Chains A and B, each alone.
Chain A
Amino acid sequence: MTTELAVQARGLGRVFGARKGRDVVALDDIDLDIAPGEFVSLIGPSGCGKSTLLRIVADLDAPTSGSLSVFGKSAQQARLDQDYGIAFQQAGLLPWRSVAANVGLPLEVHGAGKRERDARVAELLDMVGLTDFARSYPDQLSGGMQQRVAIARALAESPRLLLMDEPFGALDEITRERMQAELVRICGESGAAVLFVTHSIPEAVFLSDRVVVMTPRPGRIVDIVDSRPVGGHRRDDDFRDAAEFFHTVARVRELLHAGPASHAVPAARGVENR
């Protein structure tokens, strides 16, 4: 693995031009680095620009200022090279395709042969525990299972970067925790870097190596909290009960509630002290 950063954003800004001349600053001066294999969550209230940031990395939106590189390339080139996989809040499966055909979709787009595709799809379905449902259709699956199919699809081309926009947002709490545990395992196996957008503080802390706390109007990074488990903890269900976990959750919550005020201390901008 190269030392090249998975994502590098410098002074990234996105201004939406409103009709009555009132511009909306969705993102302002974002500096963010994501190392290969690192799990980074974006957290913040609605309108803090976390989804916009993810969409810019995915080349679904373009910044109005600043620079962004994904594996040292432009976001567009990274997209064309299929350097990342993506999962949205909606599973977004094609309802007229079987589970296996949905997972194989990105492979099909890029001209993989049938045999190669079938082998990879079988491997992915095994990874997300849906081997028995290969021939089912999305409407026959629960929401959690559909989301697992979407994650398998995102991993289809073994991307080095995984972009996830609130993928568990529509799931109930129990399913959600199970999916988080599975995601930790899957990411461990695939070694991909992850940019994960979420509303949930425990989810961000449980999953991530670093939690990026953002505030709205304008969308800025308040602080970046290191949330790697220390003291021999692994990221499993016991970690949810660890004092260290609660401490990090409290720290993130504090930052979220403090809002832009804490922004007065620029030293806490995270990226610089890496």
Chain B
Amino acid sequence: MSVGTTDQVTSTLRVRPLRDARFTTLLAPTVLGVLTIGAWQLAIDAFHIDPFIVPSPGSIWSEFLDSRSSVWHGMVGTGRNALYGLLIGAVLGILGALLANAVRAVDLMALPIVAALSVVPIVALAPALYTMFGAAANTARVIVAALTVIIPVYLNTLRGLRQVKPVHRELMHVYAARPAFVARTVTLPTATPYVFTGLRIASSLAVISALIAEYFGGPVDGLGKAITTAAASSNYPLAWAFVLGSILLGLAFYVVTLVVELWVARHRGGT
């Protein structure tokens, strides 16, 4: 799992405003999804595929409904770690970017470290962190999530801080505005949409890394642990039901940050 490759981290993935969404933009992917699930179900019925290879969508869904309370429990466990990681990583990433923007030396020193960090599979640190903080605590998972989050937030915030238009900078010079006023009225508002782009990329990374970190040990709550346990006891539909829970959790994080991003960027069309 390449959590945080350079591509993912640096791309700003421009999103289109919500008002551009059309019925057809929703219809096309929905049709594809329905067709895929239908074909999947048909293939399993037609070829009598065993559930340990691939369970049918129907059996996954009924297992999901039957064990929804434990799926929900797992989502809360993993979601909490991801959320803490996201918040801590976001604060550190933003503060780091503000510092790097203000002090050029910090930027130059941080550049190779950030580049190196962005290719390290941070979840690989999980086993070492479990030993450091004890296998009974969620600390290691939160740290893994936070570390994954820092990079895209840092890079996007830093980029945003540097997007101030020359015409705005000159205007502020003409007004002889104090640095604090410039920061409040121009620099920070310019950077804000970029910060939220970073957060949107980071939000799904936080869920993925918090979940994968569970594979390497730690307490038993959480979706990652539930998936490995169900698979180990040959309960494949249940394992897939937890996978479905993970997808929903990841989507929830993504959609919430996406909506916030769109709201923040709603008046960015003008000059």
Which candidate, B5-13, B114-122, B152-160, B175-183, is the interface stretch facing chain A? B175-183
Closest to A58 in B: B174
**Chain A residues, Cβ within 8 Å of B172:** 109
Q: Evaluate contact between A138 and B271: CB separation under 8 angstroms.
A: yes
Which of the residues A60, A138, A140, A141 comes within 8 Å of B170, measured between beta carbons? A60
* Structural contact, B167 and A109, CB atoms closer than 8 A: no
Q: Is the CB of A88 within 8 A of B167?
A: yes
A94 to B270, CA, bound (A): 8
Say whether B55 faces chain A, with CB atoms less than 8 Å apart. no
Does A133 have its Cβ within 8 Å of any Cβ on chain B? no
Tell me if B185 is interfacial: C-beta within 8 Å of chain A. yes
C-beta contact mask, A117-157 vs B, less than 8 Å → 1, else 0?
00000000000000000000111110000100000000000
Q: Can you identify 5 A-B contacts, CB atoms within 8 angstroms?
A: A58-B174, A90-B165, A94-B185, A96-B267, A109-B175
For residue B176, which residues in chain A have a CB less than 8 angstroms away from its CB?
79-80, 82, 109
List residues 156-199 of chain B with CB under 8 A from any CB of chain A: 165, 167-168, 170-177, 181, 185-186, 189, 192
The smallest C-beta distance from B197 to any residue of chain A, in angstroms, reads 16
In the assembled complex, A105 has its CB within 8 A of some CB on chain B: yes
Within 8 A of A (CB), among B249-266: none
In the complex, the answer to whether B270 meets A79 with C-beta atoms within 8 Å is no
Q: Which of A103-117 contact B (CB under 8 A)?
A: 105-106, 108-110
Q: How many angstroms between the C-alpha atoms of A146 and B269 in the bound complex?
A: 12
- Using known A-B contacts A60-B173, A79-B174, A82-B176, determine if residue A139 contacts B168 with beta carbons closer than 8 Å: no
Q: Is the C-beta of A11 less than 8 angstroms from some C-beta in chain B?
A: no
Interface residues of B in 198-246 (CB under 8 A from A): none
Chain B residues with a Cβ under 8 A of chain A? 165, 167-168, 170-177, 181, 185-186, 189, 192, 267-271
Q: Which B residue sits closest to A81, measured CB to CB?
A: B176
Is A92 interfacial (CB-CB < 8 Å)? yes
- The answer, among A58, A95, A108, for a CB contact under 8 Å with B270, is A95
Q: Hey, what's the 0/1 contact readout for A49-68 against B, CB within 8 Å counting as 1?
A: 00000000011100000000
Alpha-carbon separation in the docked complex, A106 to B165 (Å): 17
Query: Whole-angstrom distance from the CB of B115 to the nearest CB of chain A?
Result: 30
Interface size class of A (residues with CB under 8 A): 20 to 34
Contact partners of A97 in chain B: CB under 8 A: 185
Q: A96 is contacted by which of B167, B170, B173, B189 (Cβ under 8 Å)?
A: B189
Interface residues of chain A, those whose CB is within 8 Å of chain B, are 58-60, 79-80, 82, 86, 88, 90-97, 105-106, 108-110, 137-141, 146
Q: Which residue of A lies closest to B168 (CB)?
A: A92
Q: Which residues of chain A are near B189, meaning CB under 8 Å?
A: 94, 96
Q: Please report the C-alpha to C-alpha distance between residue A96 and residue B177 in the assembled complex, in whole angstroms.
A: 18
Max count, chain A CB within 10 A of own CB: residue among B167, B172, B177, B270: B270
Q: Are A146 and B270 within 8 A (Cβ)?
A: yes
**CB-CB nearest in chain A for B172:** A109
Q: For residue A139, which residues in chain B have a CB less than 8 angstroms away from its CB?
A: 267-270
B175 nearest CB neighbor, chain A only: A109
Residue of B nearest to A106 (CB): B175
Q: Are B269 and A86 in contact (CB under 8 A)?
A: no
Q: How far is the CB of B173 from chain A (nearest CB, A)?
A: 7
- Once the chains bind, are A91 and B175 in contact (CB under 8 Å)? no
Verify B185–A91 contact, CB threshold 8 A.
no
What is the CB-to-nearest-CB distance from A154 to chain B, in angstroms, rounded to a whole number?
10
Which residues of chain A are near B175, meaning CB under 8 Å? 82, 105-106, 109-110
Q: Is the beta-carbon distance between A90 and B174 smaller than 8 angstroms?
A: no
- State A105–B175 Cα separation when bound (angstroms): 9
The 8 closest A-B pairs by CB, nearest first: A138-B270, A139-B269, A139-B270, A92-B167, A137-B267, A95-B270, A109-B175, A96-B189
Q: A88-B167, A95-B268, A139-B270 are in contact. List 15 more A-B contacts (CB 8 A).
A: A58-B174, A60-B174, A86-B171, A90-B165, A92-B165, A92-B167, A92-B170, A92-B271, A94-B185, A94-B189, A95-B269, A95-B271, A96-B268, A139-B269, A140-B270
